[in-house]
Structure 1
Amino acid sequence: MTMDAGFAVIDVETTGLFPGSHRIAEIAVVHVEPDGTVSNRWETLVNPQRDLGPQHIHGIRAADILHAPLFGDIAHDVMELLTGRVLVAHNVHFDYRFVSHEMDRAGLELPFEAHECLCTMKLARRYLPGAGRSLKDCCDSFGLELANAHSAGDDAEAAAHVLGNYIRMDAENPEWFTALDRAYFASWPIAEPKRLPRAFRRSGSDPQPHFLERLVDRLPEVTGPDEHNAYLAMLDRALLDWQISASEADGLVALTDSLGISRNVADQLHVSYMISMLAAAWEDGIITPEEESDLRIVGDLLDISQESITQGLAGPVIGQDEQTGAAVQSLVLTAGDKVVLTGEMSRDRSDIEADLRAAGFSIHPGVTKAVKLLVAADPDSLSGKAKKARGYGIPVVGESYLATLLRN
């Protein structure tokens, strides 16, 4: 068996959140060379031998996996693709546990633990400070397209390109070489691949992301320990189907135990999570009745009082007070505060600037730390101004918020 040095970026789509109770329904492996070049992509659907779980999220249908291989049929193929390479994933804690569990079922064993792998979500804190934890946030930072989120192949390839950018940003970092040596010289099991035909996802339109998924893609990174981000990333997944089942709740409790997160800390993380969701929902200046309903559902799932949710819906939430932990509500601007505009608005730019000046604000041409607010034609804008504003912690709101701003 020959081995190649490099990185193997994996992604799995699953029937649920926890290995053992749930199974892999799709897996992809993308190779990245030591210099950051993406060199190979392999993917297949997998028959999980059980119901497919949240199909509205991953989009896999029963007909798609009817003739797909079992994981046991491809285990040696997957192991061959991993052999000698550093295992990488976005939120590697999740993907590693599923792959390791399925390998164990097939009589194979990965030669290292999750903490010895690389995580593009964790590395974002070093190379993309201020970016969110989602894969889409990392892709946006590099101008990469994430065509079909929750497709294992596209997610793995996107994470591979993110990794490649990290490597090129810091090519001489000895941590890359240490990881490569550890993986290359590890005691890998002998793989006897069958090289079965791959069962690709059927072509067709992917479901449009739900409101909650769009919010999750914009949630900021947590400044606390990596364990907190790992827990919140799992919470991201759990909430995408707008419910937390009894088994998911049990699994989340077990996860907090394994990560060393106390009940009190978990409650604090839930509050922070809800405040972040409210802030993301308010970015366009309005919350629709449907959005309010979904946010209240999330509040119930996180055991947050409806009274607190009502308060958060009363006016724009822009963050969390570091001292008290309370939501910081409304954009408190005073005469002379600097406001920046970006993007093509529905109204003439000069008219908007005139209205803002009449209200006492100062129109500023560029984003500096002295700017109090950025108004974007698209609050999800990836413009240089929007990226810099988010990096400085300056609120970014949509054009529709101008009416509220001027009225206040």
Structure 2
Amino acid sequence: MPERGYAVISLKTTGLFPYQRDRVVEVAVVHLDEGGHITARWETVVNPESNVGGATNHGVSTAELLRAPTFAQIAPRLVDLLSGRVLVTHNAQFVTGFLMSEFGQIGYAPGRGLEAVCTMQLARSYLPGAGRLLVDCCAAYDIEIEPGPGALVQAVAGASLLAAYLHGSPSAAPWTDALDRAELNVWPALPRAATGTAPAWVHRDPTPTDVLATPSFLARVTVKLPDYTGPEEHLDYLALLDLCLLDRVLLPRDTRELRIQAEVSGISPTDCAALHRSYFGDLVRVAWSSGALSIADSAELIAVARMLNVAPEVVATALATPALAPRQPVTSVEEVLLERGDIVVLTGNMARARADWGKELVARGLSLGTAVTMRTRLLVAANPESFTGKTGKARDYGIPIVSEFGLRSLIGVR
């Protein structure tokens, strides 16, 4: 009987569309117990056998892929790692689509399909205002993501994000229910004999930190895109657009397959066009907020607009009109007024224990938060001038940032 707990999975792929010709080239799985503590981790490069895609998409060299096992060869072990646990991932539609495609190619069907908890969708409840990308959600909790392109890096970050959700959940009931359902959903065993002798899983070669790729202009902008409060299928589609831009400008093949994906998701052509216009507008606003646009930056945005079929007049207006200057964070206690029920978040090494500060805040009718969200009223930082995930989110949202001394003044503690 599998252990009760969670299995966080992350994939690297040759592209974005599993039901066309794209394949999985790396798999990473991280186990957590019921309390959200990491207990084990696994990773392997996967030989896609045909289309290897561009190394810029997944960061795995052809030499690494050629010596790696195929998906059919790792499948029995992967089934063991996932069966009976709550499957968790960021952008679940993308990941489960690839898993179902790969399992389907070897004639295997997981028990009752592939239900997965999506940390991106959960951010709507736990991190209102946060963006869609994993790095943005992690920043709200000051979760550091190790440098490197590997799937295991993403899986560990996803596991840390899940743990933050678990520890900050107002009720354990939904998680207990999910664990109970997963425990009963043991996947059919996949005989190892049917796929030959299972080879060892192969780790990707380490990437020297001095040769890590510098994020492109579009990747830097995409990371800062705002949240979306519309239908879930629209959010999944926008997340797919994000992935298109993280490594490159949209290619003609991508746009054709995006239209197909929109149709499969039940998004009408009218809604899809509106999503494209809104997405382009968000891209430009974020780009302007970082300063003046260079000619190269504008050219990349125009290329995206063309691929998304955004009207030229809309593009011209957006690029010619800079967005409003970003709100400057409040650092003076004279400009802050706290009221009962306001959420206060602490970050950094405080002179006084956080537990003590928590008691002081609760005694005054305030709430102690764990993540910086749109609902946060005040961030108290050991160093208000520092640049961390939480201080960065506070600046993005215009949330006041004060020092520990400033908090003392605000709530009248000597």
Question: Under TM normalisation by the shorter chain, which class is it?
Answer: 0.7 to 0.9
Matches within 5 A, 1:242-281: 242-281=248-287
Structure 2 residue identity aligned to 1:41? R
Identity %: 35
8 Å contact from structure 1 (residues 339, 363) kept in 2: no
1:306 is displaced (CA, Å) by 3.4
Structure 2 residue identity aligned to 1:103? F
1:104 is displaced (CA, Å) by 2.0
Structure 2 residue identity aligned to 1:181? D
1:291 is displaced (CA, Å) by 1.1
8 Å contact from structure 1 (residues 130, 221) kept in 2: yes
1:58 is displaced (CA, Å) by 2.0
Q: Which residue of 2 aligns with 1:357?
A: none
Task: Confirm or deny that 1:16 pairs with 2:19.
Answer: no
Q: Which deviates more from structure 2 when the two are superposed, residues 16-25 or residues 226-235?
A: 16-25
1:50 is displaced (CA, Å) by 2.2
Q: Deviations over 1:27-54 (max 9, x none)?
A: 1111121111111110100011123223
Q: Which residue of 2 aligns with 1:74?
A: 74
Q: CA separation in 1, counterparts of 2:219 and 2:150?
A: 15
Q: Which residue of 2 aligns with 1:218?
A: 224
Structure 2 residue identity aligned to 1:259? S
Q: Which residue of 1 aligns with 2:316?
A: 310
Q: Deviations over 1:331-366 (max 9, x none)?
A: 59xxxxx95467xxxxxxxxxxxxxxxxxxx99755
Q: Which deviates more from structure 2 when the two are superposed, residues 285-294 or residues 220-229?
A: 285-294
Structure 1, gaps ≥5 residues long: 318-329, 333-337, 343-361, 370-377, 395-408
1:218 is displaced (CA, Å) by 1.0
Q: CA separation in 2, counterparts of 1:313 and 1:199?
A: 47
RMSD: 2.8
Q: Which deviates more from structure 2 when the two are superposed, residues 243-252 or residues 79-88?
A: 243-252
Match of 1:196 among 171, 195, 199: 199
8 Å contact from structure 1 (residues 340, 366) kept in 2: no
Is the partner of 2:137 in helix, strand or coil?
Answer: helix
Q: CA separation in 2, counterparts of 1:310 and 1:393?
A: 32
8 Å contact from structure 1 (residues 138, 162) kept in 2: yes
Is the partner of 2:239 in helix, strand or coil?
Answer: helix
Q: Which deviates more from structure 2 when the two are superposed, residues 232-241 or residues 305-314?
A: 305-314
Structure 1 residue identity aligned to 2:39? S
Q: Which residue of 2 aligns with 1:127?
A: 126
Task: Confirm or deny that 1:112 pairs with 2:118.
Answer: no
1:138 is displaced (CA, Å) by 0.8
Is the partner of 1:240 in helix, strand or coil?
Answer: helix
Q: CA separation in 1, counterparts of 2:292 and 2:386?
A: 14
1:225 is displaced (CA, Å) by 1.1
State TM-score, norm by structure 2.
0.77
Q: Which deviates more from structure 2 when the two are superposed, residues 151-160 or residues 284-293?
A: 284-293
Q: Deviations over 1:88-143 (max 9, x none)?
A: 110010011111211122232222345x3100000001001111010000111111
1:208 is displaced (CA, Å) by 1.7
Is the partner of 1:39 in helix, strand or coil?
Answer: strand
Per the alignment, do residues 287 and 367 of structure 1 end up closer, same or farther by CA in structure 2, a change over 3 Å counting? farther
1:266 is displaced (CA, Å) by 0.6
Q: Deviations over 1:5-38 (max 9, x none)?
A: 1111111111111114111010111112111111
Is the partner of 2:39 in helix, strand or coil?
Answer: strand
Q: Which residue of 2 aligns with 1:300?
A: 306
Q: Which residue of 1 aligns with 2:288?
A: 282
8 Å contact from structure 2 (residues 47, 66) kept in 1: yes
Q: Which residue of 2 aligns with 1:349?
A: none
Is the partner of 2:301 in helix, strand or coil?
Answer: helix
State TM-score, norm by structure 1.
0.78
